[in-house]
Structure 1
Amino acid sequence: MRNGPRIIVNSDVLAPAAMALLEARGAEVRMLPTRASEAEMIAAVSEAPTHAILVRTTQITPAVYDAAPDLRVVSKHGVGYDNIDVAAASARGIAVLRTHGANARSVAELALGMMLSVLRYMVPFDTALRQGTWPQSAFMGHELSGSKLGIVGCGAVGSSLVALCRPFDLEIRIYDPYLLPDAIPEGVGRVSVLDELLGWADIVTLHCPLTDETDRMIDAAALAHMRKGTFLVNAGRGPLVDDVALVAALESGHLAGAALDTFIVEPPDPDHPLWKQKNVVFTPHIGGSTRQSLERVAVQAVENIFYVLDGKPPLAKCVVG
């Protein structure tokens, strides 16, 4: 007999360690697919009194809150919370928490791998070899070592990337207007204007949340500030980059290449002109999707729920709003 809270889990598979925590607390768990619709979420929370939602991608809107009058906490399985209406939650006294830092290492490792891949033209070389050619001189690669790396957003992921890049002897500068001075990694320069960073770097990598301020922050004007031959990596949120402007910058040769783990629309349009660009590395929003990371994130997401339900203060860095 279940005597714990009813929790909606918006995930196809939740790490066994996290499921064990829910079982130990006697939670009544209602599983929804990762890509469940808002309507499916509303139907699920309406079936019975619901106390918590552990969400990955489904939109959590005022209509969801209104269908769940007993809801006390929304816990994000991840860091980005642009699919959650935080203001509406706060107005109803519902806590919103995220798993800050739990997947930072995995995302940073992917960003580093993408940088190496795009600088050495691994995708077009791979494609050419599969087509039966031996194109050793088709592209001239770039060394990561000694390059100028510009990091936009130096929170948990950005600072993890700095640590991973130490052996490459990079010159690193960051743009993050919200970073406290004592949180700047040692040996890293800081600029106060984004365009300054864009005009300086050989490689620009994005690791900031999606907000009104950052939406399409890399637009045609920003891309124009980047020097010819620069590389762009986006392992943050798709809408940070204006994809139409990005295509234009790639087709003109202004950008030497790009690497994208996130897209404005996910899954992206298969007919989008981005797919025609040769020196672009694509991955399907899997920055945090390693076995180790998914377990850390799932466990922290469950722990966040019980911090709230038990009346304990959650970690401040996990609280949204």
Structure 2
Amino acid sequence: MTGSDAPWRLLVLPPLGEDLIRGLFQPLGAEVRLPAVRDRDGLHAALADADLVVGDFTGKLSIDAAAVAAAPNLAFVQMPSVGVDSCDMDALTAAGVAVSNAAGANARSVAEWAFAATLNLSRSLTWADRQVRAGAWPQMEAAAHGADEMGNRRVGVLGMGAIGTEVVRLFEAFGCPVAYWSRRRRETGVYKEIDELIATSDVLVICLPLTPETRGLLDARRLALLPQGALLVNVARGGIAPDAAVLEALDGGRLAGAALDVYDEEPPPADHPLRRHENVLLSPHCAGATRQAQLNIITQVRDNVAAVVEGRPVANVVNAVDPLIRRR
């Protein structure tokens, strides 16, 4: 078959088993392909005749400007994540390639992680666990290290997308006064300008996408605005609150603790000082990795691939390109 009669050529990049990938996508009627080698050259070779791409949630096989140039037939990229920072959006938009994400699919999972991590830091649960496992019994030291009730702590949320909205709901249900900052002000909730929000937040939860505007947003100057002994929870991207700025705030005492699911470099180097910091809760970028969230993401990705094959508009396009995907 040729032209419009040919099956769509779908390149699937996540590091999943081939049988699983083919089982998910071949029934949709697309011709499923995987890169022969998971490196830059392998990606570019596989992109040479790809029409559609399911992106790599690890970020290793990024769809950057060079990848877009290597893909003359590419018409659609579906990211199996909320974040699209591994895609060069300018290059893709200029080429007329629509990009969709999995908006809202893991909002509950990520918000629950942020809430649980805050409780962990507030009560020094992981610290106490390490002490007891090492043979100590820090019953008297626990309160001095940090054991605070959450109910009256002021919570600030940066970003009011699906995740931020769910974070606000969970903390408010727990009795915390919550305010937010977002690039777009909502009709409900307590809005504060960003510096005011930071300065009045005992707990600051980052839920923003990583964009050129948000990269480095929480630098050392902004983190220094936090009340003494505040907590930082990052479920967004490491580049928004750079590791060095977080370490400076921790070592200076401005931050009493930080819960990090994301880092400047993933995974962080084995000798990274965050790995050794007593007051940091570390997580391997898995805040959204619940069974429910994964099923939601798979469903959204498959639905959009099916929409392309069947000639219907796709959902959740995040760049200014027509959601009705046409061959290039």
Is 2:163 the partner of 1:157? yes
Using the TM superposition, give the Cα deviation of residue 65 of structure 1 relative to its aligned residue in structure 2, in angstroms. Answer: 2.2
Change (3 A) 1:105 1:36: farther
Using the TM superposition, give the Cα deviation of residue 66 of structure 1 relative to its aligned residue in structure 2, in angstroms. Answer: 2.5
Using the TM superposition, give the Cα deviation of residue 100 of structure 1 relative to its aligned residue in structure 2, in angstroms. Answer: 0.7
Using the TM superposition, give the Cα deviation of residue 224 of structure 1 relative to its aligned residue in structure 2, in angstroms. Answer: 1.0
Task: Map 1:1-321; keep pairs closer than 5 Å.
Answer: 4-13=7-16, 22-32=25-35, 36-46=38-48, 49-55=49-55, 56=57, 57=59, 58-140=61-143, 141-179=147-185, 181-182=186-187, 184=188, 188-191=189-192, 193-315=193-315, 317-321=316-320
Alpha carbons 1:218, 1:241 under 8 Å: kept: yes
The one-letter amino acid paired with 1:269 is: P
- How far apart are the structure 2 equivalents of 1:292 and 1:126? 28
- How far apart are the structure 1 equivalents of 2:74 and 2:112? 36
- How far apart are the structure 2 equivalents of 1:28 and 1:205? 42
Using the TM superposition, give the Cα deviation of residue 82 of structure 1 relative to its aligned residue in structure 2, in angstroms. Answer: 0.8
Using the TM superposition, give the Cα deviation of residue 14 of structure 1 relative to its aligned residue in structure 2, in angstroms. Answer: 7.5
Change (3 A) 1:318 1:102: farther
Describe the superposition over 1:47-103 as per-residue Cα deviations: whole angstroms up to 9, x where unpaired.
xx3111101222102322232222110110101111101111111111111111111
- How far apart are the structure 1 equivalents of 2:18 and 2:163? 22
Alpha carbons 1:50, 1:71 under 8 Å: kept: yes
Using the TM superposition, give the Cα deviation of residue 294 of structure 1 relative to its aligned residue in structure 2, in angstroms. Answer: 1.1
Change (3 A) 1:304 1:16: farther
Alpha carbons 2:12, 2:21 under 8 Å: kept: no
Using the TM superposition, give the Cα deviation of residue 230 of structure 1 relative to its aligned residue in structure 2, in angstroms. Answer: 0.5
Describe the superposition over 1:164-219 as per-residue Cα deviations: whole angstroms up to 9, x where unpaired.
2233111000000224x33x3xxx3111x211001111100000000111111111
The one-letter amino acid paired with 1:296 is: N
Change (3 A) 1:38 1:170: same
Q: Which residue of 1 aligns with 2:323?
A: none
Change (3 A) 1:291 1:32: farther
Q: How many residues align?
A: 311
Using the TM superposition, give the Cα deviation of residue 314 of structure 1 relative to its aligned residue in structure 2, in angstroms. Answer: 2.7
Change (3 A) 1:233 1:81: same
Using the TM superposition, give the Cα deviation of residue 110 of structure 1 relative to its aligned residue in structure 2, in angstroms. Answer: 0.9
- How far apart are the structure 2 equivalents of 1:255 and 1:16? 46
The 3-state SS of whatever aligns with 2:215 is coil
Unaligned runs of 5+ in 2: 321-328
Alpha carbons 2:233, 2:259 under 8 Å: kept: yes
Change (3 A) 1:197 1:177: same
TM-score, scaled relative to structure 2: 0.88
Alpha carbons 2:206, 2:233 under 8 Å: kept: yes
Describe the superposition over 1:87-136 as per-residue Cα deviations: whole angstroms up to 9, x where unpaired.
11111111111111111111111111111111111121111111001111
| Percentage of matched positions with identical amino acids | 34
CA RMSD of aligned residues (A): 2.4
- How far apart are the structure 1 equivalents of 2:74 and 2:287? 30
Alpha carbons 1:12, 1:31 under 8 Å: kept: no
Range that drifts further, 21-30 or 248-257: 21-30
Unaligned runs of 5+ in 1: none
Alpha carbons 1:123, 1:280 under 8 Å: kept: no
Alpha carbons 1:234, 1:260 under 8 Å: kept: yes
- How far apart are the structure 1 equivalents of 2:258 and 2:38? 31
- How far apart are the structure 2 equivalents of 1:245 and 1:91? 35
